[in-house]
Amino acid sequence: MIQVLLFARIQEEVGADRVEADVAGKSIKELKRWMEDRYEVPSLARTMTAVNEEFAGDEEVINEGDTVAFIPPVSGG
């Protein structure tokens, strides 16, 4: 299992600040697709991702025990 940390609008849409996912061995891109399908969140394509507190690209593979964070773009003034 991996821990998925959620922030801002993603956290609000899912209704939790974290979820667990059994996606070890899959890519970040596959995890995003899983999140979109399972929690019916809008596209995560523009969402920044960190794995174990290091920014990661969509092709990075997730390992058992990793912590993944989804950080949506922020706007404001």
Tell me the whole-structure pTM to 2 decimals: 0.91
Each residue's pLDDT tens digit, 27-46: 999 999 999 999 999 889 88
User: C-alpha distances in angstroms, 28 versus 1, 25, 43, 50, 57?
Assistant: 14, 10, 13, 9, 7
pLDDT in single tens digits along all 77 residues of the chain: 999 999 998 999 999 999 999 999 999 999 999 999 999 998 898 899 999 999 999 999 999 999 999 998 876 55
| CATH ID of 2-71, from 3.40.50.150, 3.60.40.10, 3.10.20.30, 3.30.70.3400 | 3.10.20.30
**Domain regions of the chain by residue span:** 2-71
